[in-house]
Structure 1
């Protein structure tokens, strides 16, 4: 036995438990993390059910997982800011240190990014290992120490929270602006939560499931909701007390929502496309141009988004649970032990009553 239990997607519809080699310290700044908590992302489910997402296609087995936290197990001789026993959130994508994207501060668009549990485009290069394993190796500067008041479960939510933070920073949200978020899945709810903590005044969350919209209010992320099955953009604006938002954060990738986002935002407003569409979509370009709107593409997250997300969690829980603004913990609807990790994926794939599912790391 090599001592590194791992959850491997072999091919579409087939996940297995495997015992793989324990990673070794090779560079002075390498860190080995014992993974404790991992969230299941929608992209994981796409690979499981369809074998691809966008241009990324599964062609060989791949260790799953990229939303993780854990405890430092071993450090290289050059590690300065972490020690054995520290609790950390794992940023799962490491860019090329020599790319123009990295040097310009936009490493998220580095074409050579090595991102955990994302298939390699080169058939001769192994898939980057995911974090659903006992031991995961990372450079020191892509690990972030968790404050004492941020649990390992919340540490596993830093990755999707960073996606929302990145979109908000692209929109340059100012205090007191009004925001609409399309989508009440994990990313949408976390994006709305972050928008509130960034200072948005009114926030509406839009979805087609009433129970998800209710959750948006229960956790404190939204003061308005709208079920888009019940009406068009005029009805949406009326439900928002006549407010046309300064910013729309589109987290679904669904063509009707993309169109409605453009129609709903105020003249001169900003739309950030966070959700991945399944392909090209019809876009209201005339209205977009005539109303001088701004559209931002948003891909994962970039420099500074991880530490910002951790500070959001730290401040949110800094005054005791009776004073928290956002109940992030309520988003964790399912926690599975390691032995039931495959069941966890099937549960999320079925989509019944789950928001964010966490898998405990192997002991």
Structure 2
């Protein structure tokens, strides 16, 4: 193959380089993908600016990017579920398939999982990339490669709603209107929630939330107390939410969620904003509010794709900025600076992307 494989490689904090890497060869049950779109995640920005997330440290050069889609270029031996030319969404976490967690159907907890752009595993912000065929989800003709890339963060929202138990008639409080919060809002409405209220400290994000179907939006004023915000949530909903999905993960939202969720309800934590938070456990215990954690996703890509393909969830309004692969440094500069109020920034790796 005469083409070159332009690749975005993170060497250490604040050292992201565009380099030509060899085009990889697919092994058994793998496919070579001509990459379409890769959207920037907050974790990508954190690795770039800090060089680590918790115990995951960039010690060796790492290809960045994990919210992605592409087109099948070549089949490795044994691949039967795809053919050349298929357009796919790439589920970035490939588990071992043999441990107890995998066998129990909770492969997101697999301790040997390969996950794109999580040290030491390479990501896929490049012209060409090889991935396990069974973790490539074929896109219908009417679903774009941009939407395919956004299936990754949307699957987080779908998983959160499933963990929280969102169903027909649910009243849901979403804390935080960043990308994951907005996608959780979309998932909740598509899965039958009756009313969804979403909060944030940034007004322009809540304007987009209205376009995404939020029934109520609430800007949290500077200096507001948990009690004041909780009372305002009750006033808007005219009841207490069945479940709260916390996409921030800080002290304030943890306390708010546990205080305002109805007795017997669920407080589901998605956002990882602080290593430790203080919880009002006695209050939550008296009212039997369940606390559930949410990590990535598991068996959620098919539902996420169905919601997008059916038109029940429109993720396209979240795409606010587009760049080419050659413009990757500018794309990350925009993500870091917040210039132009970005929500989802999409990098197009090839012309057809």
Same fold (TM over 0.5): yes
For 1:323-342, what aligned pairs fall within 5 Å after superposition?
A: 326-342=313-329
Aligned partner of 2:264 in structure 1 is 268
Aligned partner of 2:175 in structure 1 is 182
- Partners of 1:50 and 1:197 in 2: CA distance: 36
Partner of residue 361 from structure 1, selected from 344, 349, 352: 349
Aligned partner of 1:313 in structure 2 is 308
Consecutive aligned runs of 4 or more in structure 1 exceeding 6 Å deviation: none
Aligned partner of 2:59 in structure 1 is 59
Q: Is the 8 A contact 1:181 1:205 kept in 2?
A: yes
Aligned partner of 2:238 in structure 1 is 242
Q: Is the 8 A contact 1:90 1:143 kept in 2?
A: yes
Q: Secondary structure at the match of 1:37?
A: strand
Which ranges of structure 1 fall in alignment gaps of 5 or more residues? 120-126, 317-324
Partner of residue 225 from structure 1, selected from 217, 238, 247: 217
- Partners of 2:3 and 2:111 in 1: CA distance: 33
Give the C-alpha shift of residue 271 in structure 1. Answer: 1.0
Give the C-alpha shift of residue 6 in structure 1. Answer: 0.6
Q: Secondary structure at the match of 1:229?
A: coil
- Partners of 2:237 and 2:94 in 1: CA distance: 44
- State the superposition RMSD in angstroms: 1.5
> What are the superposed Cα offsets for residues 106-155 of structure 1, whole Å, 9 maximum, x if unpaired?
11011111100001xxxxxxx21111011111111100000122111111
| 2:16 is the alignment partner of 1:15 | yes
For 1:1-363, what aligned pairs fall within 5 Å after superposition?
A: 3-27=4-28, 29-119=29-119, 127-220=120-213, 222-229=214-221, 231=224, 232-303=228-299, 305-316=300-311, 326-352=313-339, 353-362=341-350
- Partners of 2:234 and 2:91 in 1: CA distance: 40
Q: Is the 8 A contact 1:180 1:248 kept in 2?
A: yes
Q: Is the 8 A contact 1:226 1:239 kept in 2?
A: no
> What are the superposed Cα offsets for residues 23-58 of structure 1, whole Å, 9 maximum, x if unpaired?
11221x111111110000000011111112233222
- Partners of 1:184 and 1:351 in 2: CA distance: 15
- Partners of 1:135 and 1:241 in 2: CA distance: 48
Q: Is the 8 A contact 1:89 1:156 kept in 2?
A: yes
